Amino acid sequence: MSLLTVEETEAAVRQALDELPEWVSAELGNVAVIVEDRHPDGIMGIYDPVGGLPRIVIFREANPTTGEVKRTVLHEIGHHFGMNEQHIDRLGFG
């Protein structure tokens, strides 16, 4: 299976965000969602609330399909809302 291109990954992120309910989008506020190629530990995504602008980073190489990108975006949004791994798993985004 080939990796998604940067453009395909960014499009999948945009689609995931566009499909969010309005109240979720409103509560995200100024959270930046960005795409990077890889994380040294191979993780799929990370929610980073520390520093000036909270951000969600989606790692392209660890998300080989648009479905995985969407699941990872939703997983990290769960962390933004204070959910732990178990709660996110119960919602089906683990």
Domain-located, residue 1: no
Task: Tell me the residue range of the domain where 63 lies.
Answer: 6-90
Domain-located, residue 73: yes
- From the number of C-beta atoms within 10 Å of its C-beta (0-12, 13-18, 19+), residue 35 rates as buried
Lowest mean pLDDT among 10-14, 17-21, 45-49, 89-93: 89-93
CATH of the domain at 52: 3.30.2010.20
Average pLDDT estimate for 47-66: 93
Domain-located, residue 60: yes
Overall domain count for the chain: 1
CA dihedral 65, 70, 15, 60 (to 10 degrees): -50
- Residue 30 corresponds to which tokens in the numbers above? 């100024």
Query: Which residues are paired to 59 by β-bridges?
Result: 36
Q: Model confidence over 12-26: pLDDT tens digits?
A: 999 999 999 999 999
pLDDT at 87 over 80: yes
**pTM (predicted TM-score):** 0.91
